[in-house]
Amino acid sequence: MFHFNVKIDVIKKKIVPEVTEEWAKETFGFEGLEDMRSKIAESIKTQKGSSMVRRKENECLIALGSRLEGELPEAMLEREETNLLQNFYGQLSSMGLTFDKYLTAMDITADQFKEDNKKQAADVVRQDLALDAWARHFDMKATEEDVHNEFAQADLDDPELIENEWRKEGRLPMIRESIVRANALRDVIAQAKVTEVEETKEAE
């Protein structure tokens, strides 16, 4: 039998605050317990609703993209891969992380990351082309008013100035393309038949 000598330097006790009216007011600024419970419940409900909307959008995009036939244009794939990489490195920089640290944290190799990026780019391109096909089928267009509203609703100091600059630089087709795809996605979702299935715990 083995024996070990163990030295205990400190014993910590977890203190759980008592949930009272004063605690709700002073700690979180609620009017009271009822107000706290009500707002937390509303926040959870809103989060679930947003999550459901995003999930529905993703499922519709996946289903629509799976119906697309033919090869994906190489130029579009390369452009999307570049866009994804730029966004990815921007996020890494904002978090103060290096690429090597990210790979270590995710326990993947650089080659695996590259393949994942290629796959994600292919999915995006496939879904975009499927939305374009849907828009053509239903003759969806982006009007000048749609384009103007897109700039007006953006968080810009001078929307009209930016719109004029984009017009001079010939970049408005990108805005029209984005608007048409967004409208096509809304139409796809509106026509989709969605069945919600409750998650059940698997038997052990």
Residue 67 and residue 113 in one domain? yes
Distance separating alpha carbons of residues 174 and 24, to the nearest angstrom: 49
| Mean pLDDT in residue range 119-136 | 94
Residue 108 and residue 50 in one domain? no
Q: At 12, is the pLDDT very low, low, confident or very high (cuts 50, 70, 90)?
A: low
Q: At 203, is the pLDDT very low, low, confident or very high (cuts 50, 70, 90)?
A: very low
Please compute Rg for the chain using Cα positions. 25
Which amino acid is located at 140 in the chain?
M
Please count the structural domains in the chain.
2
Instruction: Write out the H or E segment, with its range, that includes residue 115.
Output: helix 110-137
| Mean pLDDT in residue range 151-174 | 91
Candidate from 57-66, 116-125, 193-202 with smallest mean pLDDT:
193-202
The two tokens of residue 69 are 């036939």
Burial class (CB within 10 angstroms; exposed 0-12, middle 13-18, buried 19+) of 130: buried
177-195 per-position pLDDT tens digit: 999 999 999 999 888 876 6
Residue 142 and residue 113 in one domain? yes
**34 within domain boundaries:** yes
**1 within domain boundaries:** no
Residue 114 and residue 38 in one domain? no
φ, ψ at 92 (rounded to 5°): -60, -45
- Helices and strands, counts by H and E, the chain: 8, 0
Residue 40 and residue 73 in one domain? no
Nearest CA among 129, 136, 118, 140 for reference residue 65 = 129
Q: At 4, is the pLDDT very low, low, confident or very high (cuts 50, 70, 90)?
A: very low
Nearest CA among 131, 128, 112 for reference residue 73 = 128
Residue 142 and residue 49 in one domain? no
What is the SS3 assignment for 125?
helix
Average pLDDT, the chain: 82
**8 within domain boundaries:** no
- With a cut of 50, say whether residue 140 has pLDDT above it: yes
What is the domain range of residue 92? 55-191
pTM above 0.85, yes or no: no
